[in-house]
Amino acid sequence: MVYEVVIGLEVHCQLRTESKLFSPAPVRYGDEPNHSVHPICLALPGVLPVLNARAVEFAIRAALATHCEIHTRSVFARKNYFYPDLPKGYQISQYEEPIATGGWIDIPVDDAAGDGVETKRIGLTRIHMEEDAGKSIHDSEVTGRDATHVDLNRAGVPLLEIVSEPDLRSPAEAASYLRTLRSILRYIEVSDADMEKGHFRCDANVSLRPEGIRELGTRTELKNLNSFRFVELALETEVARQAALLDLGERIHQATMAYDPDARRTRVLRLKENADDYRYFPDPDLTPLLIADAWVERVRAQLPELAEAKCQRFRDQYGLSEYDARQLTASRALADFFEVAVTAHGVAKPVANWVLRDLLQTLRERELEIDAAAVSPESFAALVGLVESGKVTAKSARDLVPELVANGGDPLQLVRERGLEAVSDAGAIEAVVDAVIALRASDVERYRGGEKKVLNFLMGQVMKRTEGRASPATVREMLARKLDSES
């Protein structure tokens, strides 16, 4: 049977506030355990929560950027459950009256023909605010003995939970949704959304139904997926597991699942026949949150140009393809870098080519973001200009990109220090061409016998002898002219 995959995602995103949601304890990553705490997040007797206004502003930003309806009244509730790293025995969250509902995100997906990119609109159910829990450390290698330690540095850190509609139809779409959402949150500077640091965590609900049937199948929930690749792999694995069971006529049990990346399988953490009963009720220590329209409009006026609008502008203003524009605007920092480089260089297309091909490759190899690289957009534009002016070959320039990313510097000075200036003397190039023709007589005969591809090999020999500093176009033209004229 052919099945349709139905996926909905719940994303928990830590906000970039200086202090926690209801206490003045600092929000920091990497502190010693239990050092970023305060009596409020430790739940000591007699303490009362005080709402962080900056966190509310960030929630408004996120809601506006995702086209949600912002409610003038929302309510904080107590979500009751027991876990060692939850000091109060409940989590302050929002339930029946969240800060925002509705909304949507447009994500890039491959078109049906497979020859381009189109967008798909994914609905949002709600955005609500809540505090994070602490962290239980079970690893005996960390604790030094077979025990569980509790670190409450994370307890009380402000979170947004962003819940999608079940509009995603494949693991690839789910990964695209997460990348797009992370890009939006970074653009509006409400979160670093660093998955490795736990700033951006995902739970995925997935079910299958026979193609053409509207009724949803029984879902399972994959918990705490912390990388885009793991999200795809976990969903692919769970989809395959459910499909195999349905093909055998067996029943899917509603359950919470974990993904084991080493074994490439999912396993049941706990069966979940019904929704958990957290006994929500409004928190008596917090009054309802009232948001004035004037505050919303003030936040709206401060929003930057978002990726979708910037992508369209890059296409119109710089004549870039849809694919190139999306790549360049995936990160606000990269888009800003590109625009400054274009201003310094003067022409967009060559700068785009060098950024997308060479700069991004170097950043990926070093696992760096553009804002952590030492290269400035002006010096990168200067490097592109050196290639276009013929002062350095593309190969030599490419070899300099990793050094510029690591250390910065003046490209022209580096070219001179390393003796990488392009060989522009036609006489010098001709001497090398003549030497290669004389030394590779058998290859010359093959070329003259009709094996035209040999020209590329001979070009390589010339470039090798000039240490890549001769103009490839000049070498090709000179070799072809000499070989054809003497044949």
Using an 8 Å Cβ cutoff, are 354 and 398 in contact?
Answer: no
Tokens of 294: 């004037």
Q: Alpha carbon of 124 to those of 165, 205, 328, 463: distances in Å?
A: 5, 14, 26, 56
In this prediction, residue 429 has a pLDDT band, given cuts at 50, 70 and 90, of low
Res 424: pLDDT: 54
Q: Report the distance separating Cα 207 and Cα 252, nearest Å.
A: 9
DSSP letters of 218-282?
--EEEEEE-SHHHHHHHHHHHHHHHHHHHHTTPPPPPEEEEEETTTTEEEEEEE-SS------EE
Res 269: pLDDT: 86
The residues pairing with 436 across neighbouring beta strands, listed in sequence order, are none
The residues pairing with 108 across neighbouring beta strands, listed in sequence order, are 119
Domain spans of the chain, in order of start? 3-295, 305-417, 426-485
Closest listed residue to residue 475, CA positions, set 426, 421, 420, 442: 426
Using an 8 Å Cβ cutoff, are 152 and 85 in contact?
Answer: yes
Q: What element of type H or E holds 91?
A: strand 90-94
pLDDT by residue (tens digit) across 205-245?
Answer: 999 999 999 999 999 999 878 888 889 999 999 999 999 99
pLDDT by residue (tens digit) across 290-337?
Answer: 999 999 999 999 999 999 899 999 999 999 998 899 999 989 999 999
Contacts of 147 by beta carbon, 8 Å cutoff, 6+ apart: 140
Closest listed residue to residue 306, CA positions, set 220, 185, 158, 400: 185
In this prediction, residue 355 has a pLDDT band, given cuts at 50, 70 and 90, of very high
Q: Taking the CB of residue 317, how many other CB atoms lie within 10 A of it?
A: 13
pLDDT by residue (tens digit) across 129-180?
Answer: 999 999 988 766 555 667 888 999 999 999 999 999 999 999 999 999 999 9
How would you label 417-427 residue by residue, b for 16+ Cβ within 10 Å and e otherwise? eeebbbbeeee
How would you label 325-363 residue by residue, b for 16+ Cβ within 10 Å and e otherwise? bbbbbbbbebbebbbbbbebbeebebbbebbbebbbebb
**With 60 as the cut, is the pLDDT of residue 115 above it?**
no
In this prediction, residue 450 has a pLDDT band, given cuts at 50, 70 and 90, of confident
Neighbour-count burial of 53, counting CB atoms closer than 10 A to its CB (0-12 exposed, 13-18 middle, 19+ buried): exposed
Closest listed residue to residue 171, CA positions, set 237, 252, 265, 97: 237
Q: Report the distance separating Cα 74 and Cα 426, nearest Å.
A: 75
Q: Looking at per-residue confidence, does 263 or 475 come out higher?
A: 263
Report the amino acid identity of residue 362.
Answer: T
- Which ranges constitute the DSSP H helices of 408-440? 411-417, 426-439
Q: Report the distance separating Cα 465 and Cα 444, nearest Å.
A: 17
Contacts of 80 by beta carbon, 8 Å cutoff, 6+ apart: 89, 90, 278, 279, 280
> Of 1.10.10.410, 3.30.70.2740, 1.20.1640.10, 1.10.287.370, which CATH number belongs to 426-485?
1.10.10.410
Tokens of 320: 């870039």
How would you label 164-175 residue by residue, b for 16+ Cβ within 10 Å and e otherwise? bbbbbebbebbb
CA atoms 270, 271, 272, 276: torsion sign: negative
**With 70 as the cut, is the pLDDT of residue 471 above it?**
no
Closest listed residue to residue 318, CA positions, set 330, 328, 332, 305: 328
Q: Taking the CB of residue 481, how many other CB atoms lie within 10 A of it?
A: 11
